[in-house]
Amino acid sequence: MTDPSPPISTAAADTMWLTRRIEKLKQCFALCGIINSTLDLPEVLDRIMRTSRQALGAETSSLLLVDETPGPGRGELVFQVAQGPMSDSLRQGFRLKRGEGLAGWVCENGRPLLIEDAYADERFNPEVDRRTGYRTKTILTFPLAVRGRVIGVSQLINKEDGSPFDAADLEMFTLICDQAAVAIDNARLHTEMLKKQRMEFDMELAANVQQGFLPRRVPDVVGLDVAGASRSCDETGGDYYDFIVRDGQDGSPGQMVVVVGDVTGHGIPAALLMASVRAFLRSRFLAPGDVGQVLDDVNRLLAEDLGMTGRFMTLFALEVDVATRSIRWVRAGHDPALVHDPALGVFCELGGKGIPLGIDGKWMYPCESMDSLTPGWVIVLGTDGIWEARNPGGVMYGKERLRKIVRARADCRAVDIVDAVMGDVETFRRGLPRRDDETVVVIKVGERGVEHEKNHAAGGSVCGHISVGMRR
């Protein structure tokens, strides 16, 4: 009896093969579109595995990514997604060393593997099968690579119809994995961009908050002209200056305190430490005690907070008695204040001994003092970002150049002297970015009365008696 079905011609067979191939390619492109339709990394990984299983009729699928974080596990493969009967065993976070098993081999060599019989391949590790009771038969493993760099491995195990994976499956899996690698890379870049945007927003917010910590206005104290400015080398900085007025017994200004500080490091940690010191100082200055006692208490609190972190803050605190014009100051590891007497053309420094705040909570800060201020004096407090600024030739700005600016502007207002110093440092750097925060505060001493003028004319400069390096 003859077969009633006519034989299929070669042309018809080719047409059927091309039709199936086109349909497969259409399906593949549609699946790639699904994979690339999101930038959420966990969703991208889940879609890669789900679409791969559906497209190739696989029982189990898994995706591993290379651990690129610094540390002992760098370069290892980490399971991110596992679907199918073995998904519970291949839990998220399970690791393979580079070169271990079929996935490790593919990652190490950057080439795919089409294994028809897993147990016939010596690279196959049957440990998971022994642990789970699952029987691995055929495996398709493909490297996920971007710009020539393997970032992970995708793997399919066993076909639902029981047949082994073949070359056509590998071809389709190749197309999916190539698109998947790009999708993973894009999702990672998107995640990093979002992190950067959040960080920039947080830094901008922190910078705005920190700027709010700096004095909004200069205290109105008769006979004293005060100004200050601070510029950070980053969005947030560790430099600090403040003006604090302590009330007298009658409610009028009793003392004006000027502080300038410099926290180790830069960025958010330095800004947080600066904010803590500001809060401690302002709170403590509300209570009785001279400037030395204030710093004793602040230092004790700060040392408790900082512990063994290695962080600290240098500070110079100067207190002026408004009525007597006597001054007291404490130097906590900070550079001395610079004093210029334009009448005699000399400079001197307000020195003293003291370690930075936060190092030793038991340290007691000695308080230096001077009986009177002379009208015309210019007192300059700053941070080392000023005199340690460098030009393109590597030369430091230095304190001598600072003295020249102060000497040349001694007759100007305090704010003009501050502007002149900051402008000259900017000019000196000649376009180089700041390497450190830059802060300067100027106190210009005004007239006090006829009697003091007579004493000044007769006795010369008190500055000469406290100088630790008088210069003309």
What pLDDT score was predicted for residue 455?
Answer: 40
Instruction: Tell me if 12-188 shares its fold with 204-466.
Output: no
d(CA 335, CA 350): 9
Three-state DSSP at 87 gives coil
CA atoms within 13 A on the CB side of 383: 26
Q: What is the DSSP letter of 111?
A: -
What pLDDT score was predicted for residue 448?
Answer: 58
Which CATH entry fits the domain spanning 12-188: 3.40.630.20, 2.60.40.10, 3.50.50.60, 3.30.450.40? 3.30.450.40
SS3 content of the chain, % helix, strand, coil (to 5): 40, 25, 35
d(CA 266, CA 437): 8
Question: Helix 41-56 vs helix 10-35: angle between axes, to the nearest 10 degrees?
Answer: 160
Instruction: Give 286-315 pLDDT, tens digit per residue.
Output: 999 999 999 999 999 999 988 778 889 999
pLDDT confidence band for 9 (50 / 70 / 90): low
Return the number of other C-beta atoms located less than 10 Å from residue 30's C-beta.
11
Residue 39, phi then psi, degrees to nearest 5:
-115, 5
pLDDT confidence band for 13 (50 / 70 / 90): low
For residue 387, list its beta bridge partners.
Answer: none
What pLDDT score was predicted for residue 381?
Answer: 97
What pLDDT score was predicted for residue 456?
Answer: 41
Residue 366, phi then psi, degrees to nearest 5:
-70, 140
Residue 1 has pLDDT above 60, yes or no: no
Instruction: Give 388-408 pLDDT, tens digit per residue.
Output: 999 999 999 999 999 999 999
Instruction: Give 190-236 pLDDT, tens digit per residue.
Output: 788 888 887 777 667 666 666 667 787 888 888 899 999 998 887 66
pLDDT confidence band for 355 (50 / 70 / 90): very high
Instruction: Give 66-115 pLDDT, tens digit per residue.
Output: 998 888 888 899 888 888 876 666 555 678 888 888 999 999 999 999 99
Q: Which two tokens stand for residue 253?
A: 């200004």
Give the architecture (CATH level 2) of 204-466: 4-Layer Sandwich (3.60)
State the sign of the Cα–Cα–Cα–Cα dihedral 103, 109, 113, 119: negative
Q: Which residues, 6 or more positions from 45, have their beta carbon under 8 angstroms from its beta carbon?
A: 63, 80, 81, 184
Percent of the chain predicted with pLDDT > 70: 81
Stretch 416-435: mean pLDDT, rounded?
Answer: 94
Query: Greater confidence, 419 or 134?
Result: 419
Residue 283 has pLDDT above 90, yes or no: yes
What pLDDT score was predicted for residue 68?
Answer: 85
Query: Greater confidence, 466 or 137?
Result: 137
Query: Greater confidence, 411 or 18?
Result: 411
Q: Compute the mean pLDDT over every residue in the chain, rounded to the nearest whole number.
A: 83
Taking only Cα atoms into account, the Rg of the chain, rounded to an integer number of angstroms, comes to 37
CA atoms within 13 A on the CB side of 271: 22
Stretch 261-271: mean pLDDT, rounded?
Answer: 81
d(CA 300, CA 59): 66
Q: Which two tokens stand for residue 390?
A: 């460098």
Residue 339 has pLDDT above 50, yes or no: yes
What pLDDT score was predicted for residue 394?
Answer: 93
Q: Which two tokens stand for residue 327?
A: 């001054």
Q: Which two tokens stand for residue 350?
A: 């307000």
Instruction: Give 27-71 pLDDT, tens digit per residue.
Output: 555 555 655 556 577 777 787 778 878 888 899 888 889 998 888
pTM: 0.62
Q: Which residues, 6 or more positions from 257, have their beta carbon under 8 angstroms from its beta carbon?
A: 242, 243, 244, 245, 246, 285, 291, 317, 318, 319, 320
Specify whether the CB–CB gap between 98 and 152 falls below 8 A.
Answer: no
What pLDDT score was predicted for residue 35?
Answer: 54
Residue 239 has pLDDT above 80, yes or no: yes
Q: Which of 236-245, 310-319, 422-431, 452-461 has the lowest mean pLDDT?
A: 452-461
Domain boundaries, the chain: 12-188, 204-466
Specify whether the CB–CB gap between 348 and 377 falls below 8 A.
Answer: no
